[in-house]
Amino acid sequence: MKLVRYGQPGRERPGIWLEAAGADAARIVDVRGMAFDIEDYNARFWRTHGLERLRGLLAEEGLKTLAADGVRLGPPVPPPRRLICLGKNYRDHAEEFDARVPAQPIYFAKNPGALCGPADEIRLRPGARADAEVELAVVIGRPARAVAEEDALDHVAGYTILNDVTDRDLQAERDQWFLGKSADTFGPLGPWLVTTDELPDPQALGLRQRVNELVLQDSHTERMLFGVARILADLTHVLTLEPGDIISTGTPGGIGSARRPPVWLRDGDVVECEIDGVGRLRNRVRME
C-alpha cells in the first residue's frame, strides 16, 4: 500500500493512494471517511494493527475516494516523536565531506517541525547557501528494543523519501548539524509511505537528486556503509524506537555544496529527489 496524508498543512487526513489504471486517473481513499476512528497515521494507528484495518477497507465495496489531481499531499506520517538522521553513510559522501569514512554509524537529530509535503515550497532565508540531499527514510511500525539485526526489518512499517535540505553557512558557523538542517520546510517527505510488503529489500533501490533537471546525485542503497537492519539493531541496543519514529539513512555523494564550483539552491529552482520503488519529491525553492 501507499499511505498518504492530504489536505491543508496541519489539517491533513489519512488516505491510501490508488495508482492510475488504464483510463482511470489516480485517486485517494478517504480513510477517515470510511473508518472515523482512524484519526491519523499516528502511534495509536500503528499500535492497533492499523495496516490490517486498511487492508480490510480496501476489500470493502463502495470505497470512498476522491480524485488525486490537484490535491495537496502532506508528509505521509504526522510529525514524529523522533527524527534521527545518519551522517556520512555512503563512502563517496564521506570522502567529499571531510575524507573521514566512519567505522560506526553517526547519528544526529533533525527538527520534526522541518517536515513538509512532497510538493511544498522549500523556503530559504535571504542569501542562504543551501543544498539538498536525497535519503531513504524508514518509518517504525512496531516498538523495537534490543532487536537482532536479522529481525530488525520486522519492526519497519514502510519507506519514504526525505530531502535533508541544509543551510551550509549555519552548519559551518555553528559547528554542528542540527540548526542548519532544521529550518521550517527543510524536510520534504513523501510522496507516500510504501509498506514493506511492496518494498521488502531496502538495500536494492536506486536513488537520485536533480536540480532543474541537472543530475547531482545518482547512487544505490546497496552502497550504504551501514544498511537499514544494521542501523535499527544498533540504535535499539541503546534506545527504544517507537511506532511513527523516522530514521533517515543518509545521502550519497554528489551534493551541491561539494561540487566545484558549488551548486547552491536559488530562488525558483526545482529540486527532485527520487527513489526507485518509492516515488519522487518535487519542490520549488523560494528565497524569502
Average pLDDT over residues 242-253: 98
Residues 34 and 158 in one domain: no
Q: How far apart are the first and last CA of the chain?
A: 37
pLDDT at residue number 176:
85
Residues 62 and 146 in one domain: no
Residues 121 and 238 in one domain: yes
CB 51 within 8 A of CB 157: yes
Q: What percent of the chain has pLDDT over 90?
A: 95
Per-residue pLDDT tens digits for 69-125: 999 999 999 999 999 999 999 999 999 988 889 999 999 999 999 999 999 999 999
In a domain, 33, yes or no: yes
Per-residue pLDDT tens digits for 229-238: 999 999 999 9
Boundary (domain end) residue, out of 67, 96, 111:
67
In a domain, 179, yes or no: yes
In a domain, 72, yes or no: no
In a domain, 78, yes or no: no
**Strand ranges in the chain using DSSP code E only, listed in sequence order:** 2-6, 13-18, 27-30, 65-67, 83-87, 106-109, 115-116, 122-124, 130-131, 134-140, 156-163, 166-167, 187-195, 206-211, 214-220, 246-248, 270-275, 279-287
Residues 273 and 133 in one domain: yes
CATH number for the domain that contains residue 257: 3.90.850.10
Q: Pick from 109, 73, 53: which is nearest to 282 by CA?
A: 73
Per-residue pLDDT tens digits for 164-180: 999 999 998 988 899 99
- Using the predicted structure, report yes or no on whether residue 261 has a pLDDT greater than 90: yes
In a domain, 76, yes or no: no
Residues 31 and 134 in one domain: no
In a domain, 75, yes or no: no
User: What's the total number of domains in the chain?
Assistant: 2
Residues 63 and 87 in one domain: no
Boundary (domain end) residue, out of 19, 35, 67:
67
3-state secondary structure at position 12? coil
Cα separation of 63 and 33, whole Å? 10
pTM of the predicted structure, to 2 decimals: 0.97
Residues 120 and 58 in one domain: no
Boundary (domain end) residue, out of 67, 98, 119:
67
In a domain, 74, yes or no: no
Per-residue pLDDT tens digits for 116-161: 999 999 999 999 999 999 999 999 999 999 999 999 999 999 999 9
Residues 148 and 283 in one domain: yes
Average pLDDT over residues 47-64: 94
In a domain, 53, yes or no: yes
Residues 59 and 87 in one domain: no
Residues 140 and 180 in one domain: yes
Alpha carbon 234 to its chain centroid, in Å, reads 20
- Beta-carbon contacts of 161 under 8 Å, excluding residues fewer than 6 positions away, are 118, 134, 135, 136, 137, 188, 189, 190, 191, 207, 273, 274, 275, 278, 279, 280, 281
Q: How confident is the model at residue 63 (pLDDT cuts 50, 70, 90)?
A: very high
Q: What percent of the chain has pLDDT over 70?
A: 100
The residue range of the domain holding 20 is 2-67
Residues 36 and 106 in one domain: no
pLDDT at residue number 9:
97
Residues 277 and 137 in one domain: yes
